[in-house]
Structure 1
Amino acid sequence: MLMTITTTHQPAQDLGFLLHKHPDHVQSFELSHGTAHVFYPESSAERCTAALLLDIDPIKLVRSYKAPPGTSRTLGHYVNDRPYVASSFLSTAISKVFGTALSGNCNKRPELAKQAIPLSFHLPALPVRGGEKVLRDLFEPLGYTVEAEAHLLDPKFPNWGKAAIFTVTLSVTLPLHQALSHLYVLIPALDREKHYYIGPAEIEKLINHGEGWLAEHPHRETITRRYMVNRQALATVAIEQLFQDESAPQDLPESQQVETAIEKPLSLNSIRLNTVVSILEQEQVRSVVDLGCGEGKLLKKLLTHPRFARIVGMDVSHRILEVAARRLKLDHLGERVRERIELVHGSLAYSDQRLAGFDAACLVEVIEHVDPERLGLLARNVFGALAPGLVVVTTPNAEFNATFEDLPAGKFRHGDHRFEWTRAEFQNWAQKVADQFGYSVRYQDIGEVHEEHGPPTQCAIFKQKKAENNAET
């Protein structure tokens, strides 16, 4: 089982720093089912190639195989393609042998780990259940150029046709750790087999290694199910956790499960979060509370900016806070970073003094999930009791819905929305809140603005007047 990684980045020997494996050495690593060898067939300033060769022990495979109850071993347990084709064994080897590179760490050259470099991955024998189209569907949306040639079942008998095994070269320009994460997830998804028991731990692996790309992939559900080897219960839980804010609840009518498909072409969620972070930076805030933080996407972006010294995420759902903790990798953060962030369980329906004293509060796509008759209570708790110096509120612009071909007239973007406001309705509400609680308010468009229907998302930025007066003096 072989995989090579080639770069023409200059100097190409930087690949050794990224992989933490010196080009002049051959290194071997014992794994549970064999040995992994790392060596460099070529190494120059112009071009460098690292090879990962797995020598799988077929005897260990047979001895470790646990047949289902009531079944007996067959010849297939002894004679199979597992020692020779790229499979979950290769993913395991990547995590064990290139674990530091996979995590995106490079102590000697930290800037190099973040740099996009030209990469080419060559896999002489890659099983692709479903054919070349599946291979392209999984890799091409991530920016890869795919070269694939199917193997004949038997070269001596070409009439027998082709096998579901391909020689594949994948070329891309990305940071190495991102590309390794893609391979870690997609190789077993292509193969649809794993050499170990598939249990709940696989969900966390998928969430960790799919972070930052899987939720945006057009075939994300297919990848998730194939990665879980079609274990439906596990796949359903993984999809729910990965795409919590990307899809409506599964028990809603299909006509209401539209928000993800509607907003996806705009990459609206990323634009929205980046805009909020930019506003907070411009206002030079140091402490932020994300009210209705969901699975922590805004929190994750805030955590990458050292200027935000105190970050708190609050949500009404215990379960989604657990998802946020995994997304943020709270158990693995360094002590100084971990001290900056906290997750709390709470509700906007109650005044919670744990959330008071912050420079800024964010309600990103939150108010439309609140019953209109309870918005007054929300305003009193946020703007009156908590009274942060700055409040950033985003919500869908109902006028823009007319541009969505897949959204039936009169329907909301998400099945849990209680309302969706026009620009005039939103600004009317925001001005009343500002006048009542002593804030000024200004508005900002988020997303590409339609000439007639305005932006897809509207944003109100409330600033406490006494804070403005203090700044002026």
Structure 2
Amino acid sequence: MLLTLTTTHRPATDLGHLLHKHPDRAQSFTTSSGTAHVFYPRADEEECTVALLLEVDPVGLVRKPGSTLTQYVNDRPYVADSLFTVALGAVFRSAVNGRSESHAELAATPIPLTVRIPVLPHRLVERLFTPLGWTVDLTPVPPAGVDEDSRYADVTLTGTHTLSDALRHLYVLLPVLDGSKHYWVAEDEVDKLLRAGEGWLGAHPDRELITTRYLARQRPLVQSALARLAEVEEVEPEALDNALEEPVLAERQVPLAVLRRETVVARLRAAGALRVLDLGCGDGALLRDLLQEPGFTEVQGVDVSVRALQVAARRLHLDQLPDRQRERLVLRQSSLTYADPELAGYDAAVLMEVVEHLDPDRLPALEHSVFTVARPRTVLVTTPNVEYNDLFDTLPRGRYRHADHRFEWTRAEFRDWAAGVAGRRGYTVRHLPIGPEDAERGAPTQLAVFTLGDDD
């Protein structure tokens, strides 16, 4: 397994100081998976390239307790995978952590870097590395003697990053691309992931995919990691419900966020709901309105972010609420894209400005968890109407209302999605506008009211 890393930062040989490996010497290191060699094919003032070569020792690996031959011996011994990242983390530990006593300022400075990995599973390379600021160039590597497309490629990544960030990107994403781990994945892997992903994983549009594959699809570990990621994200939880300060279009007009909550509460009353789920409750603004309605006998706020739930508890003054009102409220940490049987049995569920924060390929998982597993009789979904965005003077043309929005639907797109969900899950659906309607662009917020069929 081979990786080369090149910089043209002047003087380029400073790369040796950052890596704590002298360019004039070839060095070898014993790692848990074999022998790692570090050498410099080129090292001068204009350009410096370091190579990390890992010779996997399959015999030594299978002699370890609990190992089997098929774990480590296969037909692709040159593919960069989790064995390689273990070696990378061990050999370049100080650089991964961003430590350099002699060149501390340079260690914290983004520099031009080029990474080449001759054999790498390439299906997700562009999807995972491009959002981090890398330019990806790949050349498929055809299987020897087989006339078919290969899942492997010779991959080159080009970008300007601190060396620490670049190595941490590789440390996390190489095993994610491979899709497997060659050692037992336990709770300490969550800590490793969060340390290596600090500052970038929480904002990555595919953080859930990365977390799931890195942790070998072990659901309890994945949920733990996602919850902890949500706690440290830079975006305040109260900002997740339309962080854009939506301007009013006329003096004394009710703010759109207030209109949304009033409309949702009214629709819940009309549906005769007693026990209500607020899915993606954020800072608890809707929970506060629901608690003020005695007709709602139980209200549960659900969010993946532990921090958001803590903010909600503080803003709702749970410690000061009368016992009768406090007993009506439950706060629960859970991911809306994972089936949670504890959410079943409620009369109604609300997803207010939530779906647009999910990647489109996660919507089927949300559909399953809400409309099949939880399966309340009424589901209310609100989402921005992208057609209305041009009427917001403070929103630049072409921009979404929130930096974390993965999409914003037109009215037709929302209707198509809602009709598909209703048809697949046994619901009927109707649509209502929220906010002042424009003759051409409709209302700023669109609401879908799902009602479970009478035969359920």
TM-score by length of 1: 0.52
Q: Residue in 2 aligned with 1:305?
A: none
Residue 240 (structure 1) aligned to one of 227, 230, 245: 227
Cα drift, residue 85 of structure 1: 1.2
1:7 matches 2:1: no
Aligned letter for 1:144? W
Q: 1:66 to 1:367 in 2, by over 3 A?
A: closer
**Alignment of structure 1 residues 93-112 onto 2, 5 Å:** 93-112=87-106
Q: Residue in 1 aligned with 2:86?
A: 92
Contact 1:194 1:229 in 2 (8 A): yes
1:141 matches 2:131: yes
**Alignment of structure 1 residues 179-218 onto 2, 5 Å:** 179-218=166-205
Q: 1:73 to 1:213 in 2, by over 3 A?
A: closer
**What is the rounded CA distance, in whole Å, between the counterparts of 1:373 and 1:105 in structure 2?**
47
Contact 2:80 2:174 in 1 (8 A): yes
**Alignment of structure 1 residues 398-437 onto 2, 5 Å:** 406=356
Gaps of 5+ in 1: 249-256, 267-319, 324-346, 348-363, 375-401, 408-447, 457-473
Contact 2:241 2:354 in 1 (8 A): no
Cα drift, residue 171 of structure 1: 0.7
Identity score, percent: 40
Q: Residue in 2 aligned with 1:37?
A: 37
Cα drift, residue 366 of structure 1: 8.2
Write out per-residue CA displacement over residues 327-372 of structure 1, whole angstroms, 9 at most, x where no aligned residue.
Answer: xxxxxxxxxxxxxxxxxxxx9xxxxxxxxxxxxxxxx898644469
Contact 1:246 1:259 in 2 (8 A): no
Q: 1:73 to 1:98 in 2, by over 3 A?
A: closer
1:228 matches 2:253: no
**What is the rounded CA distance, in whole Å, between the counterparts of 1:110 and 1:247 in structure 2?**
25
Contact 1:120 1:172 in 2 (8 A): yes
Q: 1:260 to 1:90 in 2, by over 3 A?
A: farther
**What is the rounded CA distance, in whole Å, between the counterparts of 1:241 and 1:181 in structure 2?**
18
Instruction: Tell me the matched-pair count.
Output: 273
Q: Residue in 1 aligned with 2:159?
A: 172
Aligned letter for 2:106? L
Contact 2:176 2:213 in 1 (8 A): yes
Aligned letter for 2:146? F
Write out per-residue CA displacement over residues 268-308 of structure 1, whole angstroms, 9 at most, x where no aligned residue.
Answer: xxxxxxxxxxxxxxxxxxxxxxxxxxxxxxxxxxxxxxxxx
Cα drift, residue 38 of structure 1: 0.5
Q: In structure 2, the residue corresponding to 1:86 is in which secondary structure?
A: coil
Q: Residue in 2 aligned with 1:79?
A: 74
Aligned letter for 1:210? G
**What is the rounded CA distance, in whole Å, between the counterparts of 2:161 and 2:10 in structure 1?**
15
**Alignment of structure 1 residues 370-385 onto 2, 5 Å:** 370=317
Write out per-residue CA displacement over residues 131-178 of structure 1, whole angstroms, 9 at most, x where no aligned residue.
Answer: 1xx211110000000011221122x332xx122211100111011001
**Most deviating of 90-99 and 54-63:** 54-63
Contact 2:33 2:87 in 1 (8 A): no
Q: Residue in 2 aligned with 1:52?
A: 52
Cα drift, residue 219 of structure 1: 0.5
Q: Residue in 2 aligned with 1:153?
A: 143
**What is the rounded CA distance, in whole Å, between the counterparts of 2:133 and 2:234 in structure 1?**
24
Q: Residue in 2 aligned with 1:23?
A: 23
Write out per-residue CA displacement over residues 213-232 of structure 1, whole angstroms, 9 at most, x where no aligned residue.
Answer: 10000100000001011112
Q: In structure 2, the residue corresponding to 1:215 is in which secondary structure?
A: coil
Q: In structure 1, the residue corresponding to 2:185 is in which secondary structure?
A: coil
**What is the rounded CA distance, in whole Å, between the counterparts of 1:77 and 1:14 in structure 2?**
36
Aligned letter for 2:78? Y
Write out per-residue CA displacement over residues 195-229 of structure 1, whole angstroms, 9 at most, x where no aligned residue.
Answer: 21111110000111111110000100000001011
Q: 1:50 to 1:73 in 2, by over 3 A?
A: closer
**What is the rounded CA distance, in whole Å, between the counterparts of 2:355 and 2:211 in structure 1?**
28
**What is the rounded CA distance, in whole Å, between the counterparts of 2:174 and 2:243 in structure 1?**
29
Contact 2:19 2:94 in 1 (8 A): yes
TM-score by length of 2: 0.53
Contact 1:121 1:169 in 2 (8 A): yes
**What is the rounded CA distance, in whole Å, between the counterparts of 2:171 and 2:232 in structure 1?**
24
**What is the rounded CA distance, in whole Å, between the counterparts of 2:93 and 2:117 in structure 1?**
19
**What is the rounded CA distance, in whole Å, between the counterparts of 2:25 and 2:216 in structure 1?**
37
Write out per-residue CA displacement over residues 30-79 of structure 1, whole angstroms, 9 at most, x where no aligned residue.
Answer: 11221111000001111110000111112123323736xxxx866x7543
Aligned letter for 1:188? P
**What is the rounded CA distance, in whole Å, between the counterparts of 1:193 and 1:110 in structure 2?**
35
